[in-house]
Amino acid sequence: MTATLTDPLALADAPLTRGRLGVAGQWAIAAVAVAVGLAVTLPFDGFKWGWALVVAAVTYIAVTYTVARVVEDRRQAADRVATAVMTTAFVIVLVPLASVTWTVIKNGAARFDLAFFTDDVKFTTAELAAQREGAKVGGASHAILGTLIVTGLATVFAVPFGLFTAIYLVEYGVKSRLARAITAMVDVMTGIPSIVAGLFAYALFELFFGPGTRSGLSAAVALTVLMTPVVVRSAEEMLRLVPNELREASYALGVPKWKTIVKVVIPTAIAGILTGITLAIARVIGETAPLLITAGVLDARNLNPFSGRMTTLPVYAYQYYQIPGTAKQAAYDRVWAAALTLVLIVGILFTLARVLATVLKPKGLK
């Protein structure tokens, strides 16, 4: 009995100290890895830094494991490899981010000028001639306006829609069957693919206005379907975070429920609600597919959302990439400038959301 219990199981008295792979050792391994990476890939023609880095990374991990295994022990080696893998993963993720940002800036800079923001692409013969000479003609002003109009309309629809639904879920209809049904349906709505929302809006307007109807309003409806669940979810979460004690204090003063909501609950939650709205806008402002089939493409300004096609920025970029026309490079330049504008807009919205969240948060809440 005693032999079984003491020998294999009683852990051998491991010494507290042992060799450690210090910082110097790690740098040494890194240097070796880089050397191997270069040595293995340089001889091939068409040398690429990418492959060299990949080989270096793999070598680093393999060598670290082996050396640590010998110098330290198996568990420490596994720990080091894990650390290396996590760090590598993070670096890998930064590469596409950097690449996309760099590409958009580099290519978009060519036409990031005043003409881009004021012109449209309805060219006169004189302008076409000038373009052939290399002049920077044509722009996306109509598309930018289109984006503002369509997204603006969608926001005007989605925010009250979403906010009131959230108010119902949190304040009025708590635990009712209707509330449960609504919550389930909001979940379903979050999952609607954007193109399907576009198909719905198209079908809806076709029923009332005939086949082939394109309008800014139709696009706004599609975007509303996409935005509303996002607004509902974030507003609901924010409203739930408001402590009940605040509501009770207001009721105890004789304030009716609706006024409590308007004057106490919403202002307390406003930071989160605004953040949610900003993020919802950021999400739909880059949508292309539903807009393609609802608002279509137009080469000039149309400020009337109720009738006629209306181009938006993402559709503009897509359209003129697929069909650049004869002056290809000029078209591509405009496409990239549009992409740059889009990325900037979304980036600003994202940052705005973050700023709102920190600045407007009432002190002492959460």
Query: Considering only residues 204, 327, 357, 360, which one is a binding residue for another protein as defined by CB under 8 A?
Result: 204
What residues from 270 to 289 belong to the interface with another protein (CB under 8 A)?
Answer: 282, 285-289
Residue pair 229/190 in contact by the 8 Å Cβ criterion: yes
Q: Which is nearer to another protein, 132 or 350 (CB)?
A: 350
The CB-of-323 to another protein minimum distance in angstroms stands at 10
* Nearest in space to 213 (alpha carbons), one of 144, 293, 289: 293
Work out whether 85 is an interface residue with another protein (CB under 8 A): yes
Q: Which is nearer to another protein, 192 or 327 (CB)?
A: 192
The CB-of-235 to another protein minimum distance in angstroms stands at 11
Q: Which is nearer to another protein, 73 or 127 (CB)?
A: 73
A 10 A CB-CB count for 152 gives 14
Of 61-69, 129-137, 181-189, 298-306, which segment contacts another protein by CB under 8 A? 181-189
What residues from 321 to 340 belong to the interface with another protein (CB under 8 A)?
Answer: 321-322, 335-336, 339
What residues from 293 to 312 belong to the interface with another protein (CB under 8 A)?
Answer: 293, 296
CA gap 119, 330 in Å, rounded: 14
Could you tell me the CA-to-CA distances from 249 to 60, 169, 270, 287 in Å, in that order?
62, 21, 19, 44
Residue pair 337/143 in contact by the 8 Å Cβ criterion: no
What residues from 55 to 74 belong to the interface with another protein (CB under 8 A)?
Answer: none
Query: Considering only residues 17, 124, 125, 326, which one is a binding residue for another protein as defined by CB under 8 A?
Result: 17
CA gap 165, 228 in Å, rounded: 9
What residues from 100 to 159 belong to the interface with another protein (CB under 8 A)?
Answer: 100, 103-104, 107
CA gap 133, 265 in Å, rounded: 61
Q: Which is nearer to another protein, 86 or 303 (CB)?
A: 86
The CB-of-130 to another protein minimum distance in angstroms stands at 26
Q: What is the dihedral of CA 81, 86, 89, 91, to 10 degrees?
A: -100
Query: Considering only residues 34, 63, 171, 357, which one is a binding residue for another protein as defined by CB under 8 A?
Result: 171
Query: Considering only residues 318, 331, 337, 356, which one is a binding residue for another protein as defined by CB under 8 A?
Result: 318
Could you tell me the CA-to-CA distances from 171 to 180, 204, 325 in Å, in that order?
14, 32, 56
CA gap 296, 359 in Å, rounded: 39
What are the structure tokens assigned to 262, written together? 């308007």
Query: Considering only residues 192, 246, 327, 352, which one is a binding residue for another protein as defined by CB under 8 A?
Result: 192
Residue pair 156/322 in contact by the 8 Å Cβ criterion: no
Distance of CA 268 to the CA centre of its chain: 27
Site string for another protein, 234-273 (x = CB under 8 A): ----------xx--x--xx---xxxxxxx-----------
Q: Which is nearer to another protein, 100 or 135 (CB)?
A: 100
